[in-house]
Amino acid sequence: MPLANTSTSVPVVVDEDKCIADKGCTVCVDVCPLDVLRISELTGKAYMKFDECWYCMPCEADCPTGAVTVNIPYLLK
């Protein structure tokens, strides 16, 4: 069977003005236990690539610039 892409709203938001991934920071990507964050090749900033979050928050706690916000995802809000 062929595959389709279904849209989903993801809990983690990155403030691109604050993110310094383009200076070499990868902290949030490094610490995520589920490995769901990536640095975008397009923008050079961090973003949530996979909707597989445990809302555990190391990404937010360890970001040096306060760019990351973990929200409570819609289905359990």
Partner 1 sequence: MDEITAGLSEIDCDVLVIGGGTAGPMAAYKAKMKNPDAKVVLLEKANVKRSGAISMGMDGLNNAVIPGHSTPEQYTKEITIANDGIVDQAAVLKYAENCFEMIQELDRFGIRFQKDENGDYDVKKVHHMGTYVLPMPNGETVKKALYRQLRRARILISNRYMATRLLTGKSGRIAGAIAVNTRTAEFLVVRAKTVIMSMGAAGRLGLPTSGYLFGTYENAANSGEGYAMAYHAGAKLANLECFQINPLIKDYNGPACAYVAGPFGGYTANAKGERFIECDYWSGQMMQEFYKELQSGNGPVFLRLNHLRQETADHIEHILHTVERPSRGRFHEARGTRYAQTMIEMHISEIGFCSGHSASGVFVDECARTTVPGLYAAGDMASVPHNYMLGAFTNGAIAGEDAIDFAAEVDFDAYDRADVLAEQERVLAPTRREDGIPPNQIEYKVRRLVNDYLQPPKVSKKYELAQQRFAEAREDMEQVMVARDAHELMRALEVSSILDCADMAACASLYRAESRWGLYHWRTDYPERNDDEWKCHVLLGKQDDGTMGCEKRAVQPYIVPISDDEKDAYYKQRITAEA
Partner 2 sequence: MTFEPFEAFCDLDDLAEKLRDADPGVRRVAVMDLADTAEPGAVALIGSALHDGVPEVRLQAAIALGEFDGRDCAQMLVVGLVDADHRVARAAADSLAELKDPAAADPIFPLIAHAAPAVRAGALRGIKELRRPDALPLALRALDDADPQVRVEALGVVGYLKVEETLPALIAASRDAHAEVRRTAVGALGFSRSAHAAEALIRALSDSDWSVRAAAAEILGKGRFARAVAPLMAAFEDPEWQVQVKIMRSLGQLKAAEAVPLIGRSLEAEISNLRKEAAAALGEIAVPACRPYLEGFVDDPDPDVRKNVRWALGRIE
- Torsion of Cα atoms, 53 then 54 then 55 then 61, to 10°: -100
Binding mask 13-52 for partner 1 (x = CB under 8 A): -----------------xxxxxx--x-----------x-x
**Among partner 2, ligand SF4, partner 1, none, residue 14 binds (CB under 5-8 Å by kind):** ligand SF4
Classify residue 68 by its DSSP letter.
E
Q: If we measure between CA atoms, which residue out of 16, 17, 56, 60 comes closest to residue 39?
A: 16
Closest distance to partner 1 from the beta carbon of 51 (Å): 8
Q: Which two tokens stand for residue 74?
A: 């819609």
- Closer CB to partner 2, residue 23 or residue 77? 23
